Amino acid sequence: MSYTHLLVAVDLTEECDPVIKRAMAIAGPTGAKVSLVHIVEPMAMAFGGDVPMDLSQLQQQQFDQAKLRMSQVLDKYSAKTDATGSRPAIEPGDLHLVYGQPRQEIHELAKTEHCDLIVVGSHGRHGLALLLGSTANDVLHGAPCDVLAVRLKKDD
């Protein structure tokens, strides 16, 4: 059984390239659809709730920056073909930029978009970082479909 719709969670750093490429490689042979999602976490959440200042302007800047980065990613991956032949193209409508908490929003989007595989990057953390958890770990728990954690080699 092959996957029909892959949802790739991108943090919009340079590390999202291997994650997108792996998803493209899986989707390519079967013509599965590939969607990308980036979550902008509310700043008040990062500061733990009550913040005695107005963060709305900063939040807007963060959102605008993420939008710009998403469009750059789209430029890079929207071509129908690459050097090795055909590959799935990511269309503008396949990009999702949402506010919220990554795990919750990724699960929600996977359900509404009927995705059958979520693809995330994983640093293979150990020690204290493992105790604190990671987005990949978080996404795995309670996921509505299969989850592929693409090993990112940076921390090896």
Q: Contact with ligand AMP (CB under 6 A): which of 121, 143, 147, 148?
A: 121
Vertex 118 angle, CA 152 and 90, to 5°: 90
Look at residues 115, 126, 123, 140 and name the one whose alpha carbon lies nearest to residue 19.
123
CB of 16 to ligand AMP, least distance (A): 6
CA dihedral 17, 22, 24, 28 (to 10 degrees): 160
- Regarding 34 and contact with ligand AMP (CB under 6 A), the answer is no
Q: Contact with ligand AMP (CB under 6 A): which of 10, 32, 110, 147?
A: 10
| Closer Cβ to ligand AMP, 19 or 52, answer by number | 19
In angstroms, rounded to a whole number, what is the distance separating the alpha carbons of residues 54 and 133? Answer: 30
Burial of 31 (0-12, 13-18, 19+ CB in 10 A): exposed
Q: Contact with ligand AMP (CB under 6 A): which of 59, 78, 104, 134?
A: 134
Q: Contact with ligand AMP (CB under 6 A): which of 20, 26, 90, 136?
A: 136
CB of 81 to ligand AMP, least distance (A): 25
Site for ligand AMP in 11-30 (CB under 6 A): 11, 15, 19
- Regarding 32 and contact with ligand AMP (CB under 6 A), the answer is no
- Regarding 147 and contact with ligand AMP (CB under 6 A), the answer is no
Q: Catalog residues that contact ligand AMP under the rule CB under 6 A.
A: 9-11, 15, 19, 37-39, 102, 120-121, 123, 134-136
